[in-house]
Structure 1
Amino acid sequence: MSTIQRSESINAFFDDYVNSKTTLKQFVEQYDNALKSKIEKEEKADFHSTNSIIPLLTKFYFKKQFQEAYTHDIFRKIQQKTAKLDTIEKVV
């Protein structure tokens, strides 16, 4: 990740919490709120991933390992990135 991408990512994270008129005290409070919100979203994603299953599109064992190890969001990205392998499996 480049420095610019990292900076944009951080800016996007804080967009809903701070602006150019935010005081230091407000910033600290909003920073705490932002972190709590992020943690809550991650916990919900973990809970959802633990209590439901996304079907495998292929029989590749490594995808089963990813399915068990990662949240649904990450696993969906893996399935998208490896879609060409799925096509190869169907041809072979």
Structure 2
Amino acid sequence: MTEAAANSTGDQSSGAPRKRGFFGRIPLFLRQVVDELRKVVTPTREELVKLTGVVLVFVIFMILLVTLLDFLFGSGASFVFGDGSA
């Protein structure tokens, strides 16, 4: 017997998820969290070292870029508005 025929006995669930209350959604949420955590793959040591290096290089690059832009904008503001000394 198909699922549609089994559900045609006056049940309101026609394939749509039933409406859950607040306390009914908590266990569903926790089950979904556990299911997602089972999908997580721990990186190998080599991957971890390589990705850490990539992140550090990117952070250093961004620090240098922001420092350069800060210096340029500061110099531009000092040129336009003066450096404060009369």
Q: TM-score surpassing 0.5? A: no
Greater share of helix: 1
| TM-score band, normalised by shorter chain | 0.3 to 0.5
Tell which structure's C-alpha radius of gyration is larger. 2
TM-score, scaled relative to structure 1: 0.36
Q: TM-score under structure 2 normalisation? A: 0.38
